[in-house]
Amino acid sequence: MRLIEVLKNEPHLFFLDSSMHEPSRGRYSFIGFDPFKVVESNGKNAVDEIAKEFKVFKELKGDSLQLNEITPLSCGVVGFVSYDYGLYQEKIKLSLTPQDLVPDCYFCFYDAIITIDHFTQQLHITSCGLPQKDEALCSKRAQSRLKDIETKISACLNDSEDSSSEDTVYGIGADKTDQKIFLKGDITKEQYEKAVEKALDHIEKGDIYQVNLSQRFMLDLEGIDVEKLELYRQLRKTSLSPFSAYFDCGDYQVMSTSPERFLQTDGNVLQSRPMKGTRPRSENEEADRELKKELEQSEKDKAELLMITDLLRNDIGKVCEYGSVHVKEMRTIEAYKTVYQATSTVEGKLKADIDSFDIIKACFPGGSITGCPKIRSMEIIEDLEPTRRGIYTGALGYISFSGNMDLNILIRTLLLKDNIVYFQVGGGIVADSTPEGEYEETLVKAKAIKDSLENVCRQHKEVVS
């Protein structure tokens, strides 16, 4: 985090942060800034517009971009696809007013990347010289970018003054008096429980087996000079995750501690790791073991994950060779700082001539955050939720010019725009769900994020929900 602090004012800074280090899903962290191109797009052709620009630069450099033996992301694009894009992709009848907080797609094109290999404890700096076409100019730009980054890293390493550390707490404004911050939802308790009742009616009628319903919370920080990087730091402290991210888009910032991988390509292998089933952790060792055991033995959670795993098998089967899709791990219980999470791993061998954008269009949005069957669940979400989801349950990550891709599912995510923090929480509704229980579950999930915000504001503010 110290290097990120040094780079925090660089344009379009991103930090794909594997804060939970495991070789299979948290080996690398990536940092980049000052992209040579930024593309945002909306509507049914949003991903195609990104793909068109991507193809231009990929073809421009050709084989010279094959640096993935050093790092899976030597240069490429980093960005997000919002959940709302999936509504166009799946041709869902629209009833809600589109949100205008973020575009449907937003990707930055980076010619220089810092890679931290947590497994070998090495740091790599790569640059491909884009967007220059001339070989000599390309080489000159690449060398210049490398030198600039090396200088910034050296300044960070040589800084002996008291600078940021993992325990730094920033002041968030000149006014030292207590002020109140109001946590506001986009739906009342009664309205949410009514939505759950309607979802249960759909399940009883056989329309769906499961649907994910959510609500949005907003935190207005008007008049307070919030240190945006400290928001991410505090969010990160509550939940170390392999797919965390900080992405500064200029007018707004996206901060995520997602534990869930949506799509990854490694060569011609496509992987997805859907999650269904959660239990909180306990500081008491015996109680903690019991909570893990409860999740392991829960038939309800097993059934939910099985449904979503089958859905993902179907989705990635659209772009994989016939017969190659298989469940590598049916159900594993993963331990995080605050929760246990049940996860499966689905893999397949990609068909020839399939690229990352074809995969996104075939699989988007992720089935674990819509329901089963997916399209009918999305129709019900559009009918029952009061606000378009926007970035929530979309995907964020990278696509390298050498062909690698890794995207998360945007859960446990904050959006900071115009000094307002937005975050959304939800849960899967199944036949034995209760309206009150589901509402309380969203409050429990919201509390973890709210606590992160309180940690930033605690020296100067009183938080009232």
Q: Is the domain of 6 the same as that of 95?
A: yes
Residue 157: predicted pLDDT = 73
- Whether 22 and 112 share a structural domain: yes
Same-domain check for residues 211 and 337: no
Question: Final residue of a domain: which of 334, 349, 364?
Answer: 349
Q: Are residue 446 and residue 321 in the same domain, yes or no?
A: no
Can you give the pLDDT at residue 443?
85
The secondary structure of residue 172, as a DSSP letter, is -
Q: Are residues 187 and 302 in the same domain?
A: no
Residue 276: CB atoms within 10 Å: 27
- pTM for the full predicted model: 0.91
Tell me phi and psi for residue 30, to 5 degrees.
-130, 140
Total domains in the chain come to 2
Q: Are residues 357 and 231 in the same domain?
A: yes
User: DSSP string covering 86-118, please?
Assistant: HHHHTTPPP-SPPP-SS-SEEEEEESEEEEEET
Burial of 131 (0-12, 13-18, 19+ CB in 10 A): middle
Which of these, 463, 391, 81, 78, lies nearest to 234 by C-alpha position?
463
pLDDT at residue 23 in the model: 64
**pLDDT averages per 10-residue partition of the chain, 465 residues:** 88 91 79 98 97 92 59 95 96 86 98 94 93 90 94 77 41 38 84 98 96 94 79 86 95 95 96 91 93 92 92 97 96 87 96 96 95 96 96 98 95 94 93 92 82 71 46
| pLDDT for the residue 141 | 94
Give residue 312's domain range.
274-349
Q: Residue 220 is part of a domain; what is its CATH number?
A: 3.60.120.10
Domain match, 97 and 221 both: yes
Q: 201 in helix, strand or coil?
A: helix
pLDDT of amino acid 372: 94
Domain boundary pick from 322, 349, 376: 349
Of 15, 54, 21, nearest in space to 38 by CA: 54
